[in-house]
A and B are shown apart, each in its own frame.
Chain A
Amino acid sequence: MDNTDFSAYSAEDFVLDDHFRRWVNGQLPPEDTFWDTWLRQHPQKAETIRQATWMVKALAMEEATLDQPRMAENLHRIAQLTEREPGTWYLFSPSGWYRVAAALVVLAGLGWYLGRGLKTVVPTKYQEMVLAQTGPTIEKSNTSTQPLKVALSDGSVITLQPHSKISYPEVFAPDKREVYLSGEGFFDIAKKANSPFLVYANEIVTKVLGTSFSVKAYEHDNTVVVKVVTGRVSVLSGKVKNDNPAFSEAEGVILTPNQMVVYARTPEKLTKTLVEHPVLIKSSHTKPSDFNFMNTPLPLVFKKLEAGYGVTIVYDHDVLQNCTLMAPLENETLYEKLDLICKVIGASYEVVDAQIIISSQGCD
């Protein structure tokens, strides 16, 4: 910087100098007096400097800043992304615009590898299912410590975590794509009409309908959990039969965003409920500020919540139509919002079968 001959600089040259602009904008540390000194030594350039200063100021732009609490909240959400790993969130496919990314994680069948002090390999669902396949199959096993990418012939890509394996036919059947998973995998599924993608893991079959979701099915856990992030998922539990894999959507439990299903293995029971932390559904294009209610009739408040979080709220329209809400609920979670609303109107709520049931005496 000190070697540059600034005396030959035009106003534009000064404007284009990062250090000069920082001086104009008062962003230099107080000990950096370079420009003040230089200007004193080159009084003949005062006019040029004045002009350059004016130009820098003229090009100032409006700056949007996010308020601190909101930013902290967003950063917290980003930090949670790493905790949620292996990802339960929508994964954009970086290329191929017609690949609806279906991101899912399946944790299953840990028993097959020699963990937890087991000395012998115990036959598991995975092995039974793989053996029952007809025709040539491919098995990929990740014995390394790094995730392993497996590209399928249909364009789907599976990222296998260590100690995981996947088995699939050399050639997919024309009407369905079936894979068997043991361990943990991240699936980026190519959308293909009339050819559903099915993931078998323990007692659960998950049918991908162009969506993203996660499945947790640890061999030693008594529960299997499927959570949906976007789109729709159909889950079939219990007797998974190889001869009827492409089950119709209606046969399984259908999940939409923010819903999850918990499958208890013994005694066998399937419960549908809401996820612990419902998030705003991206496709709804709802902004947190949409929840700043100003004398809003309760039925409208509930409509906004239903749209934003993709939930169903059951309430008596006639009873609640005279209730209005005045509350800025921009930053609260869904459950906090419901708590506050119920407090204001003297109501209560419970979550039953993934629906929110409001009980209230109404407002007069």
Chain B
Amino acid sequence: MSTTTEVTELWLAFKKGDKEAFNRLASLFYQTLYSYGTKLTPDRGLVEDCIQDLFFELWQRRTFLGATEHVKFYLLKALRRKIYHEKKTQDKWNAQAVEAQDEQAFVGEFSVEKNIIDLETSELHLKKLHHVLAKLSKRQREIIYLKFYQEMDYEQIANVMSINYQSVRNLLHTALRELKEAWVQEP
């Protein structure tokens, strides 16, 4: 990934109508957006559609967009809103149970076995870990994802998820404390 300054410069060039800069931004952030999007819905086709729409809107509205130093944050937030909106529209037709408005379904899963195996984790230990991870709420998972994978700060996470700063902190700290206990209790 390019440095923040490079991205900011690309953003400014794109706002002036530079197609090259626009395409470069798209290729820089595509995988990041796809990664996040696929954690918000299992429908990967929908994610691809939403990313395309997102870039189309950016291009159409480029002259009205503000200058931002937080391009990634801006894009991820816009994608989240878009996917949520699309899912809501679909749910209307599907007559399925509609997700509570404030909690977007986060479908990202932990991949425990693959990563822990080299740490000589015992059977019992692994079970405990699964138990802790399974207990984490969708919100906690999303916070963990945004913090660890997108390296966002608390304020940005709060903004993206439309919850308050203190909740982000508390939810994350609770999750980490419980996880830590799973380790401490190892015989």
Contact = CB atoms under 8 A, between A and B. Distances in A.
A337 B108 CA distance: 34
B183 A21 contact: no
B147 A74 contact: no
A8 interface: no
Contact of B183 (A54, A90, A287, A289): A54
B34 A12 contact: no
| Interface size band for A | 35 or more
Nearest to B176: A12
A282 B39 CA distance: 21
A321 B19 CA distance: 48
A12 B23 contact: no
Interface string A273-290: 000000000100111110
A64 interface: yes
A62 B34 contact: no
B34 A65 contact: yes
B108 A82 contact: no
A64 B34 contact: yes
Nearest to B132: A58
A74 B57 contact: no
Nearest to A19: B151
Given A60-B110, A78-B55, A21 B148 contact: yes
B153 to A, nearest CB: 10
Interface string A1-38: 00000000001100110100100000000000000000
A128 interface: no
B27 interface: yes
Interface string A38-74: 0000000000000101111111111111100001001
B90 to A, nearest CB: 8
Given A11-B180, A63-B35, A78-B26, A92 B57 contact: yes
Contacts of A82: 19, 22-23, 59
B30 A146 contact: no
Interface in B92-123: 108-112, 114-116, 119, 121
B63 A146 contact: yes
Interface of B: 19, 22-23, 26-27, 30-31, 34-35, 38-39, 44-46, 48-49, 51-53, 55-57, 59-60, 63, 82, 90, 108-112, 114-116, 119, 121, 129, 133, 144-145, 147-149, 151, 172-173, 176-177, 179-180, 182-184
Given A64-B35, A90-B53, 7 more contacts: A61-B111, A61-B149, A62-B111, A71-B31, A85-B59, A147-B63, A285-B90
7 contacts: A12-B177, A12-B180, A58-B115, A60-B112, A60-B115, A65-B31, A66-B34
Interface of A: 11-12, 15-16, 18, 21, 51, 53-66, 71, 74-75, 77-79, 81-83, 85, 87, 89-92, 94, 146-147, 186, 282, 285-289
